[in-house]
Amino acid sequence: MPHKVLLLDIDGVLMQQPKLFSEIYCERYGVSIDKLLPFYSSKEFLDCSIGKYDLKQAIRDHRDKWQYTGDLDSLLSEWFEAERYPNEKLVELVKNLREQGVCVVIVTQQEKYRTAYLKQNVFSDMYDDFFVSCELGLHKDSKDFWDEVLKRLDVSLPGEVLYFDDKQSLVTLAKSVGIDAHLYQSVEQVKKLASI
């Protein structure tokens, strides 16, 4: 079946950070990684990614883990810049595909501040649509998220959608709703499969 839409995940696909900010932060500020990591699985942080909570407030709620005393806007700026490692070869391929008329859509799990940063500063000119968990109000690891994505795409059949993610569980979930989903391996893999 020919594809009509190319869906791409951000972290691990369009963005390939050599090191997560949690590691950088702990090294920079002398905070224990074991102390900070539970923040990322906290209810507050998870609620940020579906637009039900504010990241700055979540950090304040968990100040015992962060041990940060500075300005939160500065912290978020430091965080987003530290993880800004676009997959340049894939970005170039995406631009070429869009010039050929391919519809490229970004799908990602993010909270609102990083979403705004990514849309404005990193991927501003390389997508036709941007489906993000904090705006859909749904976690990416829920079937409802993928049902909503399909509802918003201009396709007759789910198999017309080609998707790449770096997490096998999300690839499996997308496949369960009929999307032609693949575990991301290389730019060459995307180029080969996205010959639309």
CA distance 123 to 117: 9
Q: How confident is the model at residue 196 (pLDDT cuts 50, 70, 90)?
A: low
| Cβ count within 10 A of residue 167 | 17
Q: What is residue 151's predicted lDDT score, i.e. its pLDDT?
A: 96
Residue 75 Cα to chain centre, angstroms: 20
CB environment 120-158: b (16+ within 10 A), e (fewer): eebbeebbeebbbbbebebebeeeebbeebbeebebeeb
Q: What is residue 92's predicted lDDT score, i.e. its pLDDT?
A: 96
Q: pLDDT by residue (tens digit) across 152-175? A: 998 999 999 999 999 999 999 999
Closest CA to 83 of 19, 8, 2, 166: 19
* Contact predicate 81/75, CB 8 Å: no
Average pLDDT, the chain: 96
* Contact predicate 117/61, CB 8 Å: no
CA distance 85 to 98: 21
Domains and CATH numbers, the chain: 5-16+86-193 (3.40.50.1000), 21-82 (no CATH)
Residue 3, pLDDT above cutoff 70:
yes
Q: How confident is the model at residue 36 (pLDDT cuts 50, 70, 90)?
A: very high
Closest CA to 22 of 108, 82, 74, 112: 82
CA distance 4 to 158: 10
Q: pLDDT by residue (tens digit) across 75-128? A: 999 999 999 999 999 999 999 999 999 999 999 999 999 999 999 999 998 999
Across 24-35, average pLDDT: 96
* Contact predicate 118/110, CB 8 Å: yes
